[in-house]
Amino acid sequence: MHIEVRGLNKQFGDFHAVRDVGFEIAKGHLIGLLGPSGGGKTSILRMLAGLESPTSGDIIFHGKRVNDLPPQERGIGFVFQNYALFKHMTVFDNVAFGLKVKKQSKDQIRDRVMQLIELTGLKGFEHRYPHQLSGGQRQRVAFARALAPEPQLLLLDEPFAAIDAKIRTELRTWLKEMIERVGITSIFVTHDQDEAIEVADEIMIINKGRLEQKGSPWDIYKNPQTQFVASFIGESTMVEQVERLRGFEEAANWPGTQALIRPEYIEIGKRHEFRIPSATVQGRVKHLHFRGSEWMVEVEVGDIKLITYRSLEKDVLQPGEEVHVLIHRAYLFNDNDTWIMENKLKEDPMPVHI
Amino acid sequence: MNIRFRSRWWSFGFRSTIMLYFVLLIVLPIIGIYTQSFKLGWTPFWESISDPLAWKAVLLTLKLAIIATVINIFLGTMIGWVLIRYRFPGRRLLNSLVDLPFALPTAVGGLMILLLLGPNSLVGSIASGMGFDIVFHEPAIVVAMVFVTFPFVIRAVQPLLEEMDKSEEEAAYTLGASKSHTFFNVIFPSMLPGISSGAMLAFSRALAEFGAVVLVAGNIPGKTLIASVYIFGEIESDNPQGAAAVSVMLLTLSFLILWAVNLVQTRRLGK
Amino acid sequence: MKKVWIPLTYLVFIVLLIIPILKIFTGSWAEGWSGFIEALTRKQSLHALMMTGIIVVVVTVLNTIFGVMLALYLVRATWLGQRIKNLLNSLVDLPYAVSPVIGGLMIVLILGPSTALGAFFEDIGFKIVYALPGMILATLFVTFPLMVREVMPVLQEIGAQQEEAASTLGAYSWYTFWHVTWPSIRWGVIYGVVLTVARSLGEFGAVLVVSGNIMNKTQTATTLVYQDVENFNVVAANGVALVLAAFSVGLLLLMEWAKKRKEVH
């Protein structure tokens, strides 16, 4: 189902939960709504489902405005954060609920339910009650239940939040495969960036009720358009006075500008490890943390503290050691603008033309 | 579309019916009694209230209800504690017996007290032999009030004790507190909201009690005539005005108590 | 300490609850089996028990339906503002604060024969006060909070999510209520019914005022007990009281059974 949202607003009393959100989703896409808790993601999802009515704005499914349609008539499936399974019904009855409402024949219901139970790997559990299932199994039931009436749009509210970290990764892959196989347009809400990056075709970043950015995970990582997105996705260190770093002196032209520097944009090492040593600055290793597959290094350049990673293959550094630091680029932002600045010194000062 | 339209009308009608029922049944009568008592202006209202029999009845009710409530605070706290904290044979049975006064018709309760403590009974004759009258005097009224309001404090204290974290108490012990110190400084404060809201409910019920009291009080005007029986007498002697005036006094008092209970509870929840 | 408190608790229960209950039993047998039967088979006893029965059934049915619906609205309705909900919520408790006698008085004041409304109804041949409708009304008033107060916390505890899930699966409110909400609140409603039955069975003050206590016409079991005591016919009073007490104890047992059943589930 093709979905379009225009100028969506939601107010709860004085609290403005959703502000002017607009987007379009192509049929068959899997979208992640990502953002910190309490940022309005769930409100957007509930408005799409019809469980909450927008203060203003339009929700359009398939070119038809559905604002006034109750949830029963929107053709959606909803997976709740705590699954909201009917706790007095067996797995079978839970999955069959939506079909019974539609007054399908017993045989039809049986076939469809068994098909879904098999698809979700719940065979043998159909006569259990929700309290007899593990968290992962409950999630599968909720998923099967939502899919049973063949909805056009699947909405999932924090589908993995209540699941143990260990099986969460496993379930993620499972869900992504499942949704691809069914081919249904889906939107899920999460506050976990790894989850969004791994599962979603496209991510929408929501903060304080606003849609900050929409794009593929790679896009968003590479080209964050707001300060919030830059700091929310990936790791980064904030630098107040970036003009004091060599190669970024130009930043002084924009007073009040700050910078975000990702660890992967920083290289450290001995002098000989760099192709253009003149682009590096001097720093001192402050702390070293062993991170299993690499070193995390805290390094001080003047009074600016930076964080980066270093391969285990390279020479082991010692705390207090003087090192060369190469900063490839930084995200600069001020109140009006966000842009990427490359290290000016990396352009070879004495290019040799052949 | 048509179906939705119809269901919308349906639900509108349904909602209005429920709300109307509620307002007509609960709110309207209360407004009615206030307007009735002030219908003829302030003076008749004041006259009804300043009748010495009327205010004596109200004062007596207040006094006895306070005594009954204090007794119930002690009994209720003790029993609530014992039933939750100790395991002993018959505990479950006693726990279900607590609700008996709620289940029993109050008139039956009054009759029981009359039978037990009346002039022809064993207790009654011993007491009157000692020059001490129970039935048709104040003690019987207090007993009736205690009986009828018995479950309130217990039922308000129990959930608090049940949900109380045992580790709080244990923490106090590991910090060197003695048993009595722990009880009064750790356990008792967390029981207090239950005790107070239970006591207020018991008090307002004792103020309002009629069935059990009317049978045992003797209803001697100015001596053992409590407010609700006074109101009943006024109605019987066809003086609804006087009945309404005293009712308004009693009602206002009860509303204040109920409001206080609500305040205590919301504050507790707010925490 | 434990050695003191447990016997003390037993003592209070025995003195305050168990002995009185036993006394009713022994009292009604004071003149033997025949005295008890005679007390019960008097014409006024049978009539009074029938009146009580009618009141209990009508009141329980009405207050169950309206109480459950009102509880649903107070917890779930989105068409009521939070402030109005809070206000209504505190109004529900009003009958608790009102002495039953006053409850009866209110109905007499509004619908009595000397009022406009009362006269109107009497003209169309529908007598309210000093007749069954008034007694039912009085009992409805007194027992109204019981059902609402049993069901509301259950609804709050289960939350709205299961109902929302049902609505996204295409179920409308009626279907959702019976298939999703009802199974969860069933036990709360059963408690509410038991309490309402017990209270309407035992209601005395309000009914006494509204009914006028006319023998063989508007007399209920509890007002008959009162009248018998006033007439110093204690044995007869005991007979009827025993029937009422037996019912109450039965209801209490039912409640215990229900609680146990619920714990199993």
Closest partner residue to A101 among C162, C170, C183, by Cβ? C170
Instruction: Please judge whether C171 and A49 are an interchain contact, meaning their C-beta atoms are less than 8 angstroms apart.
Output: no
| CA–CA gap between residue B213 and residue C204 (Å, rounded) | 12
The one-letter code for the residue type at A290 is: F
The two beta strands, A237-239 and A294-301, are unpaired
Count CB pairs under 8 A between chains B and C.
235
**Three-state SS annotation for chain A:** CCEEEEEEEEEECCEEEEEEEEEEECCCCEEEEECCCCCCHHHHHHHHHCCCCCCEEEEEECCEECCCCCHHHCCEEEECCCCCCCCCCCHHHHHHHHHHHCCCCHHHHHHHHHHHHHHCCCCCCCCCCHHHCCHHHHHHHHHHHHHCCCCCEEEEECCCCCCCHHHHHHHHHHHHHHHHHHCCEEEEEECCHHHHHHHCCEEEEEECCEEEEEECHHHHHHCCCCHHHHHHCCCCEEECCHHHCCCCHHHHHCCCCEEEECHHHEEEECHHHCCCHHHCEEEEEEEEEECCCEEEEEEEECCEEEEEEEECCCCCCCCCCEEEEEECEEEEECCCCEEEEECHHHCCCCCCCC
Residue A120: which of A76, A169, A182, A77 has the closest Cα? A182
Instruction: Please judge whether C168 and A88 are an interchain contact, meaning their C-beta atoms are less than 8 angstroms apart.
Output: no
Instruction: Please judge whether C109 and B244 are an interchain contact, meaning their C-beta atoms are less than 8 angstroms apart.
Output: yes
| CA–CA gap between residue A283 and residue A269 (Å, rounded) | 10
Tokens of C137: 């009304």
Average pLDDT over residues A322-331: 88
Q: How close, in Å, is residue C187 to chain A by CA atoms?
A: 13
Looking at residue C264, what is its pLDDT? 57
Provide φ and ψ at C114, rounded to 5°.
-90, -5
Length of chain A: 354
Interface residue of B86, B111, B134, B153 to substitute, partner C, most C CBs within 10 Å: B111
B121 pLDDT above the threshold of 80: no
Looking at residue B1, what is its pLDDT? 37
Give the C-alpha distances (Å, rounded to integers) separating A47 from A9, A66, C13.
Answer: 10, 10, 57
Chain C residue with Cα closest to A76: C168
The one-letter code for the residue type at C174 is: W
| CA–CA gap between residue B92 and residue B83 (Å, rounded) | 8
Instruction: Please judge whether C169 and A49 are an interchain contact, meaning their C-beta atoms are less than 8 angstroms apart.
Output: no
Whose structure tokens read 């990582």? A221
Contacts with B, C 152-171, CB within 8 Å? none
Q: In this predicted complex, what is the ipTM?
A: 0.85
Residues 6+ apart with CB under 8 A from A204: A23, A31, A32, A33, A34, A211, A213, A214
Instruction: Please judge whether C162 and A102 are an interchain contact, meaning their C-beta atoms are less than 8 angstroms apart.
Output: no
Chain A residue with Cα closest to C180: A86
Domain-wise residue ranges, chain A: 3-232, 237-346
Q: For the whole model, what pTM was predicted?
A: 0.82
Strands of A185-190's sheet in order across: A76-79, A153-157, A185-190, A30-34, A202-207, A210-215
Which residues of chain B lie closer than 8 angstroms to C110, CB-CB? 28-29, 32
Encode pLDDT of A179-192 as tens digits.
888 889 999 999 88
pLDDT category at B2 given cuts 50, 70, 90 is very low
The one-letter code for the residue type at B116 is: L
Interface residue of B39, B108, B215 to substitute, partner C, most C CBs within 10 Å: B108
B206 pLDDT above the threshold of 80: yes
The two beta strands, A338-342 and A329-333, are antiparallel
Q: How close, in Å, is residue B138 to chain C by CA atoms?
A: 17
Select the CATH number that applies to the domain covering A237-346 from these four: 2.40.50.140, 3.30.460.80, 3.40.50.410, 3.40.50.620: 2.40.50.140
B69 pLDDT above the threshold of 90: yes
What does the mean pLDDT of chain C come to? 88
The two beta strands, A258-261 and A266-269, are unpaired
Rg (CA), chain C: 22
DSSP-derived 3-state class of residue B105: coil
A354 pLDDT above the threshold of 60: no
Instruction: Please judge whether C244 and B105 are an interchain contact, meaning their C-beta atoms are less than 8 angstroms apart.
Output: yes
Classify domain C15-264 by CATH number: 1.10.3720.10
DSSP-derived 3-state class of residue B233: helix
Encode pLDDT of A101-151 as tens digits.
988 899 999 999 999 999 888 999 989 999 999 888 998 999 999 999 989
Length of chain C: 265
Dihedral sign (CA B209, B213, B217, B219): positive
Contacts with B, C 209-248, CB within 8 Å? 209, 221-223, 225-226, 229, 234, 237-238, 241, 244-245, 248
Chain C residue with Cα closest to B213: C205
Bridge partners of C173, per DSSP, are none
Domain-wise residue ranges, chain B: 1-39, 44-270
Closest partner residue to C198 among B82, B103, B231, by Cβ? B103
Instruction: Please judge whether C162 and A84 are an interchain contact, meaning their C-beta atoms are less than 8 angstroms apart.
Output: yes
Whose structure tokens read 């064993």? B122
What does the mean pLDDT of chain A come to? 87
Of the two residues C138 and A256, the one the predictor is more confident about is: C138
Interface residue of A61, A85, A87, A97 to substitute, partner C, most C CBs within 10 Å: A97
Contact between B197 and B261 (Cβ < 8 Å): yes
Indicate the range of A167-171, A285-289, A325-329 predicted with least confidence. Answer: A167-171
| CA–CA gap between residue A45 and residue A157 (Å, rounded) | 7
Encode pLDDT of C162-196 as tens digits.
999 999 998 888 899 999 999 989 989 999 999 99
Contacts with B, C 127-146, CB within 8 Å? 137, 140-141, 144
Instruction: Please judge whether C102 and B231 are an interchain contact, meaning their C-beta atoms are less than 8 angstroms apart.
Output: yes
DSSP-derived 3-state class of residue A22: strand
The one-letter code for the residue type at B104 is: L
- Which stretches does DSSP call E strand in chain B? none
Looking at residue C1, what is its pLDDT? 63
Question: How many alpha carbons fall within 13 Å on the CB side of residue B70?
Answer: 6
Select the CATH number that applies to the domain covering B44-270 from these four: 1.20.1300.10, 1.10.3720.10, 3.40.50.170, 1.10.260.40: 1.10.3720.10
Closest partner residue to A77 among C161, C168, C179, by Cβ? C168
B271 pLDDT above the threshold of 70: no
pLDDT category at B116 given cuts 50, 70, 90 is confident
Contacts with C, A 165-194, CB within 8 Å? none
Whose structure tokens read 């239940």? A145
Against chain C, the chains showing at least 3 CB pairs within 8 Å are: A, B
Instruction: Please judge whether C162 and A86 are an interchain contact, meaning their C-beta atoms are less than 8 angstroms apart.
Output: yes
Residue B265 DSSP one-character state: H
| CA–CA gap between residue A147 and residue A179 (Å, rounded) | 10
Chain C residue with Cα closest to A153: C168
**Three-state SS annotation for B210-231:** CHHHHHHCCCCCCCCCCHHHHH
Average pLDDT over residues B154-180: 84
Interface residue of C1, C5, C8, C9 to substitute, partner B, most B CBs within 10 Å: C9
B85 pLDDT above the threshold of 80: yes
Q: How close, in Å, is residue A146 to chain C by CA atoms?
A: 7
Provide φ and ψ at B44, rounded to 5°.
-60, -35
Closest partner residue to C168 among A76, A82, A86, by Cβ? A76
Chain B residue with Cα closest to C93: B258
Bridge partners of A296, per DSSP, are A289, A309
Q: Which residues of C touch A (CB under 8 A)?
A: 161-162, 164-172, 175, 179-180, 183-184
Tokens of C155: 């609804």
Contact between A224 and A235 (Cβ < 8 Å): no
Chain C residue with Cα closest to B228: C101
Q: How close, in Å, is residue C66 to chain B by CA atoms?
A: 6
Classify domain A3-232 by CATH number: 3.40.50.300
Looking at residue C148, what is its pLDDT? 93
Average pLDDT over residues A67-88: 90
Residue A149 DSSP one-character state: T
Instruction: Please judge whether B147 and C105 are an interchain contact, meaning their C-beta atoms are less than 8 angstroms apart.
Output: no
Indicate the range of A115-119, A208-212, A334-338, B14-18 predicted with least confidence. Answer: A334-338
Closest partner residue to A72 among C161, C170, C180, by Cβ? C170
Tokens of B248: 């308004």
Residue A12 DSSP one-character state: E
Chain B residue with Cα closest to C27: B115
Chain C residue with Cα closest to A147: C169
Provide φ and ψ at A80, rounded to 5°.
-80, 155
Provide φ and ψ at A283, rounded to 5°.
-145, 170
Residue environment code for A155-175, b if the CB has 16+ CB neighbours within 10 A, otherwise e: bbbbbbeebeeeebeebbebb
The one-letter code for the residue type at A204 is: M
| CA–CA gap between residue A126 and residue A190 (Å, rounded) | 29
Residue A341: which of A257, A219, A281 has the closest Cα? A257
Whose structure tokens read 């009054």? B110
Length of chain B: 271
Chain B residue with Cα closest to C5: B82
| CA–CA gap between residue B87 and residue B84 (Å, rounded) | 8
Q: How close, in Å, is residue C64 to chain A by CA atoms?
A: 23
Contact between C39 and C28 (Cβ < 8 Å): yes
Contact between A287 and A310 (Cβ < 8 Å): no
**Three-state SS annotation for B84-144:** HHCCCCCHHHHHHHCCHHHHCCHHHHHHHHHHHHCCCCHHHHHHHHCCCCCCCCHHHHHHH
Instruction: Please judge whether C166 and A97 are an interchain contact, meaning their C-beta atoms are less than 8 angstroms apart.
Output: yes
Residue C39: which of C219, C202, C240 has the closest Cα? C240
Encode pLDDT of B20-36 as tens digits.
888 888 888 888 888 88
CB of C70 within 8 Å of a chain B CB? The answer is yes
Q: How close, in Å, is residue C82 to chain A by CA atoms?
A: 11
Domain-wise residue ranges, chain C: 15-264
Query: What are the per-10-residue average pLDDT scores of chain C (265 residues)?
Result: 82 87 80 81 91 96 94 86 83 84 89 83 85 92 92 90 91 90 91 92 91 87 90 86 90 85 66
Which residues of chain C lie closer than 8 angstroms to B25, CB-CB? 137, 140-141, 144
Residues 6+ apart with CB under 8 A from B267: none
Looking at residue A348, what is its pLDDT? 57
| CA–CA gap between residue C171 and residue A73 (Å, rounded) | 9
Instruction: Please judge whether C9 and B82 are an interchain contact, meaning their C-beta atoms are less than 8 angstroms apart.
Output: yes
| CA–CA gap between residue A314 and residue A323 (Å, rounded) | 13
Looking at residue C56, what is its pLDDT? 96
| CA–CA gap between residue B159 and residue B198 (Å, rounded) | 12
